[in-house]
Structure 1
Amino acid sequence: MEETEPVKAAPPVFELELPDDYSQYLLHSRTEVLAVLRSVVQKGALITAHFDQGRSFFLTSMIALQPDDGELILDVGSNEEMNARALKAGKLIFTTVVDKVKIQFSLERLRRTDYQGRPAFVGAVPGTLLRLQRREFFRLATPVATPIRLCTTLMPEGRAVNVSLLDISGGGVGLMAPLDLAGLLERGRMLENCRIMLPGEGLLAATLCVRNLFDVTTRGGSRYVRVGCEFVGLPTARLTAVQRYIIHVERERKARLNGLS
Protein backbone atom coordinates (compact mmCIF):
# COMPACT_ATOMS: atom_id res chain seq x y z
CA MET A 1 0.00 0.00 0.00
CA GLU A 2 1.12 3.58 -0.61
CA GLU A 3 2.93 5.24 2.28
CA THR A 4 1.11 8.22 3.70
CA GLU A 5 2.30 10.90 6.10
CA PRO A 6 0.11 12.39 8.82
CA VAL A 7 -2.44 14.86 7.50
CA LYS A 8 -1.53 18.49 8.22
CA ALA A 9 -4.80 20.05 7.07
CA ALA A 10 -7.98 20.34 9.11
CA PRO A 11 -9.36 16.90 10.02
CA PRO A 12 -12.14 15.60 7.77
CA VAL A 13 -15.79 15.44 8.78
CA PHE A 14 -17.25 11.93 8.67
CA GLU A 15 -20.93 11.34 7.92
CA LEU A 16 -20.78 8.39 10.30
CA GLU A 17 -20.29 10.85 13.17
CA LEU A 18 -23.30 12.98 12.16
CA PRO A 19 -26.17 10.60 12.99
CA ASP A 20 -28.74 13.42 13.11
CA ASP A 21 -28.11 14.14 9.43
CA TYR A 22 -27.41 10.64 8.13
CA SER A 23 -29.47 8.31 10.33
CA GLN A 24 -31.41 7.01 7.32
CA TYR A 25 -28.19 5.59 5.86
CA LEU A 26 -27.07 3.74 9.02
CA LEU A 27 -27.37 -0.05 8.98
CA HIS A 28 -27.88 -1.75 12.35
CA SER A 29 -28.86 -5.24 11.19
CA ARG A 30 -25.94 -7.66 11.48
CA THR A 31 -27.09 -9.41 8.32
CA GLU A 32 -27.04 -6.14 6.36
CA VAL A 33 -23.70 -5.06 7.81
CA LEU A 34 -22.09 -8.38 6.89
CA ALA A 35 -23.55 -8.21 3.37
CA VAL A 36 -21.97 -4.79 2.79
CA LEU A 37 -18.63 -5.91 4.22
CA ARG A 38 -18.65 -8.98 1.96
CA SER A 39 -19.09 -6.68 -1.04
CA VAL A 40 -16.05 -4.68 0.12
CA VAL A 41 -13.98 -7.90 0.21
CA GLN A 42 -15.29 -9.17 -3.13
CA LYS A 43 -14.62 -5.87 -4.92
CA GLY A 44 -11.14 -5.52 -3.42
CA ALA A 45 -12.02 -1.92 -2.60
CA LEU A 46 -9.28 0.43 -1.44
CA ILE A 47 -10.04 1.63 2.11
CA THR A 48 -8.79 4.74 3.89
CA ALA A 49 -8.29 4.14 7.61
CA HIS A 50 -8.41 7.39 9.61
CA PHE A 51 -7.29 7.78 13.22
CA ASP A 52 -5.93 10.44 15.60
CA GLN A 53 -9.20 12.41 15.14
CA GLY A 54 -8.80 12.15 11.39
CA ARG A 55 -5.37 13.80 11.33
CA SER A 56 -3.56 10.60 10.29
CA PHE A 57 -4.50 7.84 7.87
CA PHE A 58 -3.20 4.91 5.88
CA LEU A 59 -4.50 2.93 2.91
CA THR A 60 -5.62 -0.65 3.31
CA SER A 61 -8.06 -3.25 1.99
CA MET A 62 -10.23 -5.89 3.60
CA ILE A 63 -8.67 -9.29 3.04
CA ALA A 64 -11.31 -11.50 4.62
CA LEU A 65 -14.46 -11.55 6.70
CA GLN A 66 -14.87 -14.13 9.50
CA PRO A 67 -18.47 -13.75 10.72
CA ASP A 68 -18.35 -16.85 12.95
CA ASP A 69 -15.54 -15.21 14.92
CA GLY A 70 -17.09 -11.76 14.60
CA GLU A 71 -13.90 -10.45 13.01
CA LEU A 72 -12.63 -8.84 9.83
CA ILE A 73 -9.08 -8.99 8.45
CA LEU A 74 -7.36 -5.93 6.97
CA ASP A 75 -4.11 -5.52 5.10
CA VAL A 76 -1.35 -3.63 6.92
CA GLY A 77 -0.04 -0.34 5.59
CA SER A 78 3.39 0.07 3.98
CA ASN A 79 4.67 2.43 6.70
CA GLU A 80 5.56 0.45 9.81
CA GLU A 81 5.60 3.54 12.02
CA MET A 82 2.07 4.38 10.85
CA ASN A 83 1.00 0.80 11.49
CA ALA A 84 2.33 1.01 15.05
CA ARG A 85 0.46 4.26 15.66
CA ALA A 86 -2.75 2.77 14.27
CA LEU A 87 -2.48 -0.14 16.72
CA LYS A 88 -2.40 2.36 19.60
CA ALA A 89 -5.41 4.34 18.35
CA GLY A 90 -8.54 4.16 20.45
CA LYS A 91 -10.82 4.64 17.44
CA LEU A 92 -10.42 4.31 13.69
CA ILE A 93 -12.87 5.27 10.95
CA PHE A 94 -12.75 3.38 7.66
CA THR A 95 -14.05 4.89 4.43
CA THR A 96 -14.38 3.27 1.02
CA VAL A 97 -16.55 3.35 -2.11
CA VAL A 98 -18.18 0.31 -3.72
CA ASP A 99 -20.22 0.75 -6.92
CA LYS A 100 -20.30 4.54 -6.34
CA VAL A 101 -21.77 4.07 -2.84
CA LYS A 102 -19.80 5.48 0.09
CA ILE A 103 -19.30 3.09 3.01
CA GLN A 104 -18.06 4.07 6.48
CA PHE A 105 -17.60 2.14 9.70
CA SER A 106 -15.55 2.52 12.85
CA LEU A 107 -13.50 0.15 14.99
CA GLU A 108 -12.47 0.73 18.57
CA ARG A 109 -9.23 -1.19 18.27
CA LEU A 110 -6.99 -3.11 15.88
CA ARG A 111 -4.54 -5.86 16.73
CA ARG A 112 -1.85 -7.72 14.84
CA THR A 113 -2.39 -11.12 13.31
CA ASP A 114 -1.07 -13.37 10.56
CA TYR A 115 -3.40 -14.33 7.76
CA GLN A 116 -2.35 -17.00 5.27
CA GLY A 117 1.30 -16.35 6.07
CA ARG A 118 1.22 -12.57 5.77
CA PRO A 119 0.99 -9.81 8.42
CA ALA A 120 -2.45 -8.28 8.84
CA PHE A 121 -4.74 -6.36 11.18
CA VAL A 122 -7.81 -7.89 12.79
CA GLY A 123 -10.79 -6.05 14.27
CA ALA A 124 -14.31 -6.79 15.46
CA VAL A 125 -17.15 -6.66 12.93
CA PRO A 126 -18.82 -3.27 13.53
CA GLY A 127 -22.33 -3.18 14.95
CA THR A 128 -23.24 -0.18 12.78
CA LEU A 129 -22.26 0.75 9.24
CA LEU A 130 -23.07 3.76 7.07
CA ARG A 131 -24.05 3.08 3.47
CA LEU A 132 -24.49 6.45 1.79
CA GLN A 133 -26.40 5.91 -1.44
CA ARG A 134 -27.89 9.27 -2.29
CA ARG A 135 -28.67 8.42 -5.90
CA GLU A 136 -32.02 7.07 -4.75
CA PHE A 137 -32.93 10.52 -3.42
CA PHE A 138 -32.63 12.76 -6.47
CA ARG A 139 -33.58 16.27 -5.34
CA LEU A 140 -36.00 18.08 -7.63
CA ALA A 141 -36.31 21.86 -7.55
CA THR A 142 -40.06 22.53 -7.53
CA PRO A 143 -41.55 24.69 -10.31
CA VAL A 144 -41.38 28.41 -9.57
CA ALA A 145 -44.36 29.27 -11.78
CA THR A 146 -46.65 26.82 -9.94
CA PRO A 147 -45.27 26.61 -6.39
CA ILE A 148 -46.08 23.66 -4.16
CA ARG A 149 -47.00 24.51 -0.59
CA LEU A 150 -46.81 22.72 2.72
CA CYS A 151 -49.44 23.30 5.36
CA THR A 152 -49.37 22.28 9.01
CA THR A 153 -49.96 23.63 12.49
CA LEU A 154 -47.14 23.86 15.01
CA MET A 155 -48.13 22.51 18.39
CA PRO A 156 -48.34 23.54 21.17
CA GLU A 157 -47.89 27.07 19.77
CA GLY A 158 -50.91 26.73 17.50
CA ARG A 159 -49.01 28.56 14.74
CA ALA A 160 -50.41 27.88 11.28
CA VAL A 161 -47.70 27.22 8.70
CA ASN A 162 -48.21 27.66 4.96
CA VAL A 163 -44.88 27.76 3.14
CA SER A 164 -43.51 27.02 -0.32
CA LEU A 165 -41.35 24.02 -1.15
CA LEU A 166 -37.98 24.79 -2.69
CA ASP A 167 -37.26 21.17 -3.54
CA ILE A 168 -38.42 17.63 -2.89
CA SER A 169 -36.84 14.18 -2.92
CA GLY A 170 -37.62 10.71 -1.64
CA GLY A 171 -35.79 11.68 1.54
CA GLY A 172 -37.48 14.97 2.37
CA VAL A 173 -38.19 18.56 1.35
CA GLY A 174 -36.61 21.98 1.46
CA LEU A 175 -38.90 24.73 2.73
CA MET A 176 -38.86 28.49 2.16
CA ALA A 177 -39.84 29.89 5.56
CA PRO A 178 -40.17 33.52 6.70
CA LEU A 179 -37.60 34.77 9.20
CA ASP A 180 -40.09 34.99 12.06
CA LEU A 181 -40.79 31.27 11.73
CA ALA A 182 -37.15 30.20 12.11
CA GLY A 183 -37.25 30.47 15.91
CA LEU A 184 -39.95 27.79 16.04
CA LEU A 185 -38.24 25.41 13.63
CA GLU A 186 -35.20 24.38 15.61
CA ARG A 187 -33.11 21.45 14.46
CA GLY A 188 -34.64 18.14 15.50
CA ARG A 189 -38.20 19.43 15.76
CA MET A 190 -40.90 17.08 14.50
CA LEU A 191 -43.54 18.57 12.20
CA GLU A 192 -46.66 16.44 12.47
CA ASN A 193 -49.62 16.26 10.07
CA CYS A 194 -47.90 18.04 7.19
CA ARG A 195 -49.98 18.29 4.02
CA ILE A 196 -48.48 18.74 0.57
CA MET A 197 -50.59 18.77 -2.59
CA LEU A 198 -48.56 17.12 -5.36
CA PRO A 199 -49.91 17.88 -8.85
CA GLY A 200 -51.09 14.69 -10.49
CA GLU A 201 -50.67 12.66 -7.28
CA GLY A 202 -53.02 14.31 -4.81
CA LEU A 203 -52.53 15.04 -1.13
CA LEU A 204 -49.33 13.82 0.52
CA ALA A 205 -49.64 13.56 4.31
CA ALA A 206 -46.35 13.18 6.14
CA THR A 207 -44.36 13.74 9.29
CA LEU A 208 -41.15 15.72 8.88
CA CYS A 209 -38.09 16.27 11.06
CA VAL A 210 -36.13 19.53 10.77
CA ARG A 211 -32.50 18.71 9.93
CA ASN A 212 -30.93 22.06 9.07
CA LEU A 213 -31.65 25.75 8.65
CA PHE A 214 -29.76 28.63 7.08
CA ASP A 215 -30.54 32.19 6.01
CA VAL A 216 -30.81 33.03 2.32
CA THR A 217 -30.73 36.50 0.76
CA THR A 218 -32.13 36.87 -2.76
CA ARG A 219 -30.66 39.14 -5.42
CA GLY A 220 -33.45 41.56 -4.70
CA GLY A 221 -32.42 41.79 -1.06
CA SER A 222 -35.26 39.69 0.38
CA ARG A 223 -34.38 37.25 3.14
CA TYR A 224 -35.86 33.92 4.12
CA VAL A 225 -34.81 30.74 5.91
CA ARG A 226 -34.22 27.53 4.00
CA VAL A 227 -35.38 24.65 6.19
CA GLY A 228 -34.19 21.16 5.26
CA CYS A 229 -36.61 18.49 6.49
CA GLU A 230 -36.50 14.70 6.41
CA PHE A 231 -39.51 12.43 5.94
CA VAL A 232 -40.12 10.30 9.02
CA GLY A 233 -41.63 6.84 8.53
CA LEU A 234 -43.02 7.66 5.10
CA PRO A 235 -45.06 4.65 3.91
CA THR A 236 -43.95 2.99 0.70
CA ALA A 237 -47.10 4.03 -1.17
CA ARG A 238 -46.48 7.71 -0.37
CA LEU A 239 -42.79 7.46 -1.25
CA THR A 240 -43.81 5.95 -4.59
CA ALA A 241 -46.13 8.91 -5.19
CA VAL A 242 -43.26 11.33 -4.51
CA GLN A 243 -41.02 9.45 -6.93
CA ARG A 244 -43.73 9.39 -9.62
CA TYR A 245 -44.16 13.15 -9.27
CA ILE A 246 -40.41 13.74 -9.57
CA ILE A 247 -40.15 11.51 -12.65
CA HIS A 248 -43.14 13.26 -14.28
CA VAL A 249 -41.74 16.76 -13.73
CA GLU A 250 -38.28 15.72 -14.97
CA ARG A 251 -39.77 14.19 -18.12
CA GLU A 252 -41.68 17.39 -18.84
CA ARG A 253 -38.55 19.49 -18.26
CA LYS A 254 -36.47 17.32 -20.62
CA ALA A 255 -39.22 17.39 -23.24
CA ARG A 256 -39.24 21.20 -23.15
CA LEU A 257 -35.46 21.32 -23.45
CA ASN A 258 -35.50 18.92 -26.39
CA GLY A 259 -38.18 21.03 -28.05
CA LEU A 260 -35.98 24.10 -27.79
CA SER A 261 -32.85 22.39 -29.09
Structure 2
Amino acid sequence: MKHNTSIAPERDQKLLEEFSLSAEPTLRKLLSIIEDDEHELYVYLQADHTQFVTEILSIDWSAGQMWLGTPYEKVLSEHCNISTSYVMVSFPDGVKVQFAGIGILKSQYQGADALRITIPRTIVRLQRRNYFRVMADEELNSQVKLVIPQVQGDISLIDISLAGCGFYVSAPPRQYNQDEILKDVRLTLPDGGSSMLVELVIRNIKPVFDQPDNIQLGCEMKTLERGAERRLQRFLLATERRQRTNLHSMS
Protein backbone atom coordinates (compact mmCIF):
# COMPACT_ATOMS: atom_id res chain seq x y z
CA MET A 1 0.00 0.00 0.00
CA LYS A 2 1.27 3.46 -0.85
CA HIS A 3 1.22 5.95 1.99
CA ASN A 4 1.29 9.72 2.03
CA THR A 5 4.87 11.03 1.98
CA SER A 6 3.96 14.56 3.04
CA ILE A 7 4.40 16.14 6.45
CA ALA A 8 0.70 17.02 6.27
CA PRO A 9 -1.70 14.90 8.35
CA GLU A 10 -3.27 11.85 6.79
CA ARG A 11 -7.03 12.36 6.33
CA ASP A 12 -8.06 8.95 5.00
CA GLN A 13 -10.26 7.54 7.75
CA LYS A 14 -9.63 3.93 6.75
CA LEU A 15 -5.87 4.41 7.04
CA LEU A 16 -6.28 6.18 10.38
CA GLU A 17 -8.30 3.29 11.74
CA GLU A 18 -5.99 0.64 10.29
CA PHE A 19 -2.79 2.06 11.77
CA SER A 20 -4.18 3.37 15.06
CA LEU A 21 -2.27 2.33 18.21
CA SER A 22 -3.52 2.65 21.76
CA ALA A 23 -1.33 0.31 23.84
CA GLU A 24 0.24 2.43 26.59
CA PRO A 25 3.80 1.00 26.26
CA THR A 26 3.77 1.83 22.53
CA LEU A 27 2.47 5.36 23.13
CA ARG A 28 5.09 5.97 25.81
CA LYS A 29 7.87 4.71 23.54
CA LEU A 30 6.89 6.87 20.56
CA LEU A 31 6.30 10.04 22.60
CA SER A 32 9.52 9.51 24.58
CA ILE A 33 11.54 9.21 21.36
CA ILE A 34 9.97 12.44 20.07
CA GLU A 35 10.88 14.16 23.34
CA ASP A 36 14.34 12.69 23.94
CA ASP A 37 15.58 13.07 20.36
CA GLU A 38 13.99 16.53 20.02
CA HIS A 39 11.98 15.62 16.94
CA GLU A 40 9.84 18.43 15.64
CA LEU A 41 6.05 18.39 15.94
CA TYR A 42 4.12 19.81 12.99
CA VAL A 43 0.92 21.27 14.42
CA TYR A 44 -2.22 21.75 12.31
CA LEU A 45 -5.14 23.65 13.84
CA GLN A 46 -8.39 22.36 12.41
CA ALA A 47 -10.54 25.50 12.65
CA ASP A 48 -8.49 27.97 10.62
CA HIS A 49 -5.83 25.68 9.08
CA THR A 50 -3.04 27.46 10.98
CA GLN A 51 0.24 25.53 10.98
CA PHE A 52 3.31 25.82 13.14
CA VAL A 53 6.29 23.79 14.32
CA THR A 54 7.11 23.01 17.93
CA GLU A 55 8.70 20.35 20.12
CA ILE A 56 7.93 18.48 23.32
CA LEU A 57 9.47 20.19 26.35
CA SER A 58 8.30 17.75 28.99
CA ILE A 59 5.87 14.88 29.60
CA ASP A 60 4.17 14.29 32.95
CA TRP A 61 2.87 10.75 32.62
CA SER A 62 1.18 10.72 36.03
CA ALA A 63 -0.73 13.93 35.29
CA GLY A 64 -1.41 12.97 31.68
CA GLN A 65 -0.03 16.27 30.37
CA MET A 66 2.61 17.37 27.82
CA TRP A 67 4.27 20.77 27.55
CA LEU A 68 5.21 22.09 24.13
CA GLY A 69 7.32 25.03 23.06
CA THR A 70 5.60 28.10 21.65
CA PRO A 71 6.06 28.66 17.91
CA TYR A 72 8.72 31.08 16.71
CA GLU A 73 5.90 33.35 15.52
CA LYS A 74 3.88 33.46 18.73
CA VAL A 75 0.88 34.95 16.93
CA LEU A 76 0.25 31.51 15.39
CA SER A 77 -0.78 30.07 18.76
CA GLU A 78 -2.26 33.14 20.44
CA HIS A 79 -5.87 32.01 19.89
CA CYS A 80 -5.34 28.45 21.15
CA ASN A 81 -7.64 27.49 24.02
CA ILE A 82 -9.48 24.58 25.63
CA SER A 83 -11.64 24.15 22.50
CA THR A 84 -8.84 24.18 19.92
CA SER A 85 -8.97 21.07 17.73
CA TYR A 86 -5.62 19.94 16.34
CA VAL A 87 -3.60 17.26 14.59
CA MET A 88 0.13 16.86 15.24
CA VAL A 89 2.62 15.01 13.04
CA SER A 90 6.15 13.86 13.84
CA PHE A 91 8.80 11.42 12.58
CA PRO A 92 10.38 9.51 15.50
CA ASP A 93 13.11 7.25 14.10
CA GLY A 94 11.85 8.01 10.59
CA VAL A 95 8.36 6.67 11.34
CA LYS A 96 5.54 9.02 10.41
CA VAL A 97 3.10 9.29 13.30
CA GLN A 98 0.21 11.60 14.06
CA PHE A 99 -2.30 12.18 16.81
CA ALA A 100 -5.33 14.40 17.22
CA GLY A 101 -6.92 16.10 20.19
CA ILE A 102 -8.84 19.05 21.55
CA GLY A 103 -7.40 21.71 23.80
CA ILE A 104 -4.11 23.63 23.56
CA LEU A 105 -3.68 25.71 26.70
CA LYS A 106 -1.23 28.52 27.35
CA SER A 107 1.12 27.53 30.14
CA GLN A 108 4.59 27.96 31.62
CA TYR A 109 7.58 25.64 31.62
CA GLN A 110 10.73 26.47 33.58
CA GLY A 111 9.70 30.11 33.72
CA ALA A 112 9.07 30.52 30.00
CA ASP A 113 5.89 30.59 27.93
CA ALA A 114 4.74 27.17 26.78
CA LEU A 115 1.72 25.28 25.52
CA ARG A 116 0.07 22.37 27.31
CA ILE A 117 -1.96 19.48 25.91
CA THR A 118 -3.34 16.21 27.20
CA ILE A 119 -1.24 13.15 26.39
CA PRO A 120 -2.97 11.40 23.46
CA ARG A 121 -4.62 8.07 24.11
CA THR A 122 -4.19 7.01 20.49
CA ILE A 123 -1.37 7.52 17.97
CA VAL A 124 -1.51 6.64 14.29
CA ARG A 125 1.69 5.09 12.93
CA LEU A 126 1.38 5.41 9.18
CA GLN A 127 4.40 3.41 7.99
CA ARG A 128 7.78 2.13 9.00
CA ARG A 129 9.95 4.74 7.30
CA ASN A 130 8.54 7.83 5.68
CA TYR A 131 10.49 10.90 4.63
CA PHE A 132 9.05 13.71 2.58
CA ARG A 133 11.22 14.67 -0.36
CA VAL A 134 11.75 18.01 -2.04
CA MET A 135 12.77 18.42 -5.65
CA ALA A 136 15.97 20.36 -6.18
CA ASP A 137 15.12 23.51 -8.11
CA GLU A 138 17.63 26.15 -9.16
CA GLU A 139 17.40 28.00 -5.84
CA LEU A 140 18.00 24.86 -3.79
CA ASN A 141 21.03 23.95 -5.89
CA SER A 142 22.44 27.42 -5.30
CA GLN A 143 21.90 27.07 -1.53
CA VAL A 144 23.05 23.52 -0.85
CA LYS A 145 26.59 22.28 -1.37
CA LEU A 146 27.40 18.58 -1.52
CA VAL A 147 31.11 17.71 -1.51
CA ILE A 148 31.98 14.05 -2.15
CA PRO A 149 35.70 13.16 -2.11
CA GLN A 150 35.14 10.29 -4.57
CA VAL A 151 33.35 12.54 -7.09
CA GLN A 152 35.23 14.91 -9.34
CA GLY A 153 33.53 17.93 -10.90
CA ASP A 154 30.20 19.59 -10.25
CA ILE A 155 27.34 17.85 -8.48
CA SER A 156 23.78 18.84 -9.38
CA LEU A 157 21.11 17.74 -6.92
CA ILE A 158 17.88 16.22 -8.25
CA ASP A 159 16.06 15.75 -4.95
CA ILE A 160 16.83 15.45 -1.26
CA SER A 161 15.16 14.10 1.87
CA LEU A 162 16.19 12.88 5.30
CA ALA A 163 16.53 9.42 3.78
CA GLY A 164 18.80 10.28 0.87
CA CYS A 165 19.39 12.28 -2.26
CA GLY A 166 19.68 11.98 -6.01
CA PHE A 167 22.17 13.91 -8.11
CA TYR A 168 23.89 14.14 -11.49
CA VAL A 169 27.64 13.69 -11.89
CA SER A 170 29.95 13.69 -14.89
CA ALA A 171 31.23 10.11 -15.00
CA PRO A 172 30.78 6.85 -16.91
CA PRO A 173 28.35 4.37 -15.25
CA ARG A 174 31.11 1.82 -14.65
CA GLN A 175 32.94 4.23 -12.35
CA TYR A 176 30.52 3.52 -9.48
CA ASN A 177 28.95 0.37 -8.07
CA GLN A 178 25.60 -0.31 -6.46
CA ASP A 179 25.88 -0.44 -2.63
CA GLU A 180 29.20 1.40 -2.79
CA ILE A 181 29.69 3.57 0.30
CA LEU A 182 30.75 7.18 -0.18
CA LYS A 183 32.38 8.33 3.06
CA ASP A 184 33.44 11.72 4.42
CA VAL A 185 30.74 13.53 2.43
CA ARG A 186 30.11 17.13 3.45
CA LEU A 187 26.64 18.68 3.19
CA THR A 188 26.37 22.44 3.64
CA LEU A 189 23.01 24.14 4.21
CA PRO A 190 22.21 27.88 4.01
CA ASP A 191 21.42 28.10 7.74
CA GLY A 192 24.74 29.59 8.80
CA GLY A 193 25.89 26.39 10.48
CA SER A 194 28.98 24.40 9.66
CA SER A 195 28.92 21.69 7.01
CA MET A 196 27.65 18.36 8.31
CA LEU A 197 29.32 15.01 7.83
CA VAL A 198 27.16 12.39 6.11
CA GLU A 199 27.61 8.96 4.59
CA LEU A 200 26.04 7.98 1.26
CA VAL A 201 25.28 4.49 -0.02
CA ILE A 202 24.70 4.21 -3.78
CA ARG A 203 21.39 2.43 -4.35
CA ASN A 204 20.89 3.01 -8.07
CA ILE A 205 22.88 4.21 -11.08
CA LYS A 206 21.14 5.48 -14.19
CA PRO A 207 22.45 6.88 -17.48
CA VAL A 208 21.22 10.32 -18.51
CA PHE A 209 19.36 10.39 -21.82
CA ASP A 210 21.30 12.25 -24.55
CA GLN A 211 24.16 12.93 -22.09
CA PRO A 212 26.53 9.94 -22.30
CA ASP A 213 29.10 11.66 -20.09
CA ASN A 214 26.66 12.06 -17.18
CA ILE A 215 24.99 9.62 -14.82
CA GLN A 216 22.34 9.87 -12.15
CA LEU A 217 23.09 8.44 -8.70
CA GLY A 218 20.42 7.69 -6.13
CA CYS A 219 21.86 7.41 -2.64
CA GLU A 220 20.69 6.55 0.84
CA MET A 221 22.01 9.08 3.32
CA LYS A 222 23.00 8.73 6.96
CA THR A 223 23.76 11.76 9.10
CA LEU A 224 26.69 11.21 11.44
CA GLU A 225 26.51 14.21 13.75
CA ARG A 226 24.11 15.06 16.56
CA GLY A 227 21.54 17.62 15.52
CA ALA A 228 22.30 17.24 11.80
CA GLU A 229 19.04 15.47 11.01
CA ARG A 230 17.06 18.18 12.73
CA ARG A 231 18.88 20.92 10.78
CA LEU A 232 18.20 19.15 7.51
CA GLN A 233 14.56 18.60 8.43
CA ARG A 234 14.09 22.32 9.11
CA PHE A 235 15.66 23.21 5.78
CA LEU A 236 13.46 20.74 3.91
CA LEU A 237 10.35 22.12 5.60
CA ALA A 238 11.30 25.70 4.70
CA THR A 239 12.03 24.64 1.11
CA GLU A 240 8.71 22.83 0.79
CA ARG A 241 6.91 25.96 2.02
CA ARG A 242 8.82 28.17 -0.41
CA GLN A 243 8.11 25.91 -3.37
CA ARG A 244 4.43 25.63 -2.42
CA THR A 245 4.16 29.43 -2.11
CA ASN A 246 5.82 29.92 -5.50
CA LEU A 247 3.48 27.39 -7.06
CA HIS A 248 0.41 29.12 -5.65
CA SER A 249 1.63 32.54 -6.82
CA MET A 250 1.94 31.21 -10.37
CA SER A 251 -1.56 29.72 -10.45
Normalised by the length of structure 1, the TM-score is 0.43
Higher Cα Rg: structure 1 or 2? Answer: 1
